[in-house]
């Protein structure tokens, strides 16, 4: 589950950060791919808020394919992820993780410098990783899905110890939007994150980026904040 959490955050916030990578490294990325990504980045950076619905398909060796659905919203450093079995919210200072099956809410300090004890990366964490130029990327092909032409760009990590061998983005260049991201795990797993709808510049209500334990009957609260 913790690997899945890391993956969900990796995919979600990649939309705002992939093209922020440095390219002045010994290994050079595809200049044309950078142009496509720069255009997407500028569009996403113009949004004050993002609210997206998504599906996540999980294919593991020897196991039946799984599909989960959820929503994620972001406003600056604040975010909220909702899936069938959990809710994660952060107001930039504290992070709440509601594990529905365990009927437990864990609260911890949000630390953008480190991967949290809950196993996922914060948005700032991810931005820093990409800005270091950790990936080499290039356009591999163009495909048509549902009458929409998608440009596919693959990212390969420079770190040999990375748990993923590559990431594949499908971008609608006409709309300057990322439609899906697929990650190829070295253990043979395949994870595909597909955006089904995207709303931007929405106004979120008070408390959207936090969790009030009083609203969840019978939950145990584990406060890990210092």
DSSP reduced 3-state for 13? helix
Percentage of residues in the chain having pLDDT higher than 70 = 78
Per-residue model confidence (pLDDT) at position 35: 87
The Cα–Cα gap between 167 and 191 comes to: 10
Taking only the tens place, the pLDDT of each residue in 102-150 is 999 999 998 755 443 334 443 334 434 444 567 788 999 999 988 899 9
User: How far does Cα 195 stand from its chain's mean position?
Assistant: 11
Q: Domains in the chain, ordered, with CATH?
A: 2-223 (2.50.20.10)
Determine the 3-state secondary structure of 185 from DSSP.
Answer: strand
Tens of pLDDT, residues 160-171: 888 888 888 899
Strand-pairing partners, residue 69, are: 55
Q: What is the mean pLDDT of the chain?
A: 79
Average pLDDT over residues 196-213: 92
One-character DSSP codes across 107-162: EEE--TTS--TTS---HHHHHHHHHTT-EEEEEEEEEEETTEEEEEEEEEES-TT-
Q: How confident is residue 158, by pLDDT bands cut at 50, 70 and 90?
A: confident
CB contact at 8 A, 92 and 74 = no
Residue 60 β-bridge partners: none
Give pLDDT, residue 87: 93
Does residue 27 register a pLDDT over 70?
Answer: no
Q: How far apart are CA 23 and CA 134, in angstroms?
A: 10
Q: Which residue has the higher pLDDT, 81 or 132?
A: 81
| Count of CB atoms situated within 10 Å of the CB of 88 | 23
pLDDT digits (tens, 9 = 90+) for 36-76: 888 887 888 788 988 889 888 889 999 999 998 989 888 88
pLDDT category, 195, cuts 50, 70, 90? confident
**Residues near 30 by Cβ (< 8 Å), separated by ≥ 6?**
137, 138, 139, 153
> 10 Å Cβ neighbour count for 41?
18
pTM, two decimals, is 0.77
Q: For the chain, how are helix, strand and coil distributed in percent, rounded to 5?
A: 20, 45, 40
């Amino acid at each position: 589950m913790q690997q899945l959490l890391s993956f969900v955050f990796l995919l979600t916030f990649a939309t705002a950060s992939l093209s922020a990578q440095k390219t002045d490294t010994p290994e050079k990325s595809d200049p044309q791919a950078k142009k496509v990504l720069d255009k997407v980045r500028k569009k996403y950076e113009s949004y004050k808020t993002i609210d997206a619905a998504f599906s996540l398909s999980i294919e593991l060796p020897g196991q039946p394919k799984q599909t989960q659905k959820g929503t994620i919203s972001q406003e600056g450093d604040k975010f909220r992820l909702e899936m069938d079995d959990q809710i994660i919210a952060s107001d930039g200072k504290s992070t709440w993780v509601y594990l529905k099956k365990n009927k437990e809410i864990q609260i911890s300090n949000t630390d953008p410098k480190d991967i949290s004890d809950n196993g996922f990366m914060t948005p700032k964490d991810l931005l820093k990783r990409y800005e270091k130029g950790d990936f080499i990327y290039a356009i591999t092909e163009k495909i048509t899905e549902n009458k929409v032409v998608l440009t596919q760009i693959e990212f390969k990590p420079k770190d040999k110890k990375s748990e993923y061998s590559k990431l594949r983005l499908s971008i609608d260049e006409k709309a300057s939007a990322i439609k899906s991201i697929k990650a190829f795990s070295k253990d043979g797993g395949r994870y595909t994150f597909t955006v089904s709808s995207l709303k931007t510049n929405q106004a979120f209500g008070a408390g959207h980026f936090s969790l009030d334990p009083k609203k969840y009957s019978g939950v145990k609260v584990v406060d890990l904040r210092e």
